[in-house]
Amino acid sequence: MSILDRIIADKKKEVAQRKSLFPTSYWEASPLFDRKLNSLSSRLRLSASGIIAEHKRRSPSKQNINNKLTVSKVALDYQAAGVCGMSVLTDGKYFGGSLDDLNLARAVTEFPLLRKEFIVDEYQLIEAKAHGADLILLIAAVLTRTEIQRLSSAAQQLDLEVLLEVHNQEELEKSLMPTLDLLGVNNRNLKTFEVSLETSRDLASKIPDEFVKVSESGISEVAAIQELKRYGYQGFLVGENFMKTANPGAAAKEFITQLEG
């Protein structure tokens, strides 16, 4: 069983447990549930940088990225740096995150927040909405076309945008549908964890223009973004490159200054 298979198996158990503890009516009563969407796709279309910064404490491949900073501090500093939005890891077992992180980030910021999670059930969309998210991530590698259709339609009804993540052409072809807003290409091979921007370059022309193109993982240099912009990418998810520093917000600000300069 691969690490991804283990994560999904654990996630399904976790969601079942949370359902038994908190009915959907509990989350629907949240003060944030009726909050108006702050569109990340619109921001990216207008942005000169397209940076989506991330809060990530650890990952299966790197056990300690940054455990010292509060999510509130990181979120405030990212907002001051001028990023377009923020990705918040909410998986606990493998990434050290939680839904509380999403709440804390929303309490101090106005920009779009992505709940970055292994979504397997509509219940998680309701959780995301109740904790202030503006969009959710769907990972094509772990979902069938029917599941992507069902989950993206449910997100649309909740006024959440959808970032669909693919790793290859096969995943892209099975996933294209009008209920998506952003198409993300993850440059990290899920089997080997190796990273190559060639993945984004190869798939760029196959993504229809109605979707905002987002390149994810392995982006650490301004030159890489400048090149990917020529392939039509408008969004760039940057996680470890900022989070591995003592001050992620300052790192993001310096990166954006170089990019826009």
Whether 216 is a known active-site residue: answer: yes
pLDDT tens-digit readout, 198-232: 999 999 999 999 999 999 988 999 999 999 999 99
Whether 217 is a known active-site residue: answer: yes
Distance CA 100, CA 261 (A): 36
Whether 54 is a known active-site residue: answer: yes
Q: Which one is catalytic: 11, 56, 129, 253?
A: 56
CA 172 to each of CA 85, 178, 198, 217, 231: distance values in angstroms, whole numbers, following the listed order: 24, 13, 15, 17, 16
Q: Which one is catalytic: 175, 216, 240, 253?
A: 216
Q: Which one is catalytic: 116, 129, 213, 253?
A: 116
The architecture of the domain spanning 3-260 is Alpha-Beta Barrel (3.20)
Distance CA 186, CA 197 (A): 9
Q: Which one is catalytic: 117, 165, 171, 240?
A: 165
Q: Is residue 191 predicted with pLDDT exceeding 80?
A: no
CA 146 to chain centre: 21
Residue 61: the pLDDT is: 75
Residue 68: the pLDDT is: 87
Place of tokens 């503006």: 134
Q: Which one is catalytic: 66, 103, 200, 217?
A: 217
pLDDT tens-digit readout, 36-80: 999 999 999 999 999 999 999 988 877 788 888 999 999 999 999
CA 76 to each of CA 89, 104, 135, 141: distance values in angstroms, whole numbers, following the listed order: 16, 10, 19, 32
Beta strands in the chain (DSSP E): 51-55, 85-89, 113-116, 135-139, 161-166, 182-186, 212-216, 235-238
- Bridge partner residues of 139 (DSSP): 165
